Amino acid sequence: MANRNRNIDLKFRVNEEEKAFIEMKMKEAGITNREAYLRKMAIDGAIIVSNYDETKKLTM
């Protein structure tokens, strides 16, 4: 690992369902390298948080 550009190892655990979902998303994106896909998602991926409180108030 001394000659590698990325020398820090990050690990996380998933269950079988999560692994299958990741593989499905990789296939959809046309990415075959899991490390590249996970790095791209960790850096550029987005988490969308929706707050529908105001919408709920309008519909009541």
- Please report whether residue 41 resides in a domain: yes
Q: Which domain holds residue 26?
A: 16-59
Reading the block at residue 31, the tokens are: 């990415």
| CB 26 within 8 Å of CB 37 | yes
Residue 44 lies in a domain: yes
pLDDT at 49: 83
pLDDT over 70 at 3, yes or no: yes
* Distance between CA atoms of residues 60 and 53, nearest Å: 11
How many domains does the structure of the chain reveal?
Answer: 1
In a domain, 23, yes or no: yes
Give per-residue pLDDT as tens, 11-55. Answer: 999 999 999 999 999 999 999 999 999 999 999 998 888 888 888
Query: 4 in a domain, yes or no?
Result: no
* pLDDT attached to residue 1: 55
Residue 29, domain member (yes or no): yes
Residue 7 domain flag: no
Whether residue 9 lies inside any domain: the answer is no
Q: State the average pLDDT for the chain.
A: 90
In this model, does residue 56 exceed pLDDT 70?
A: yes
Give the whole-angstrom CA distance, residue 42 versus residue 34.
12
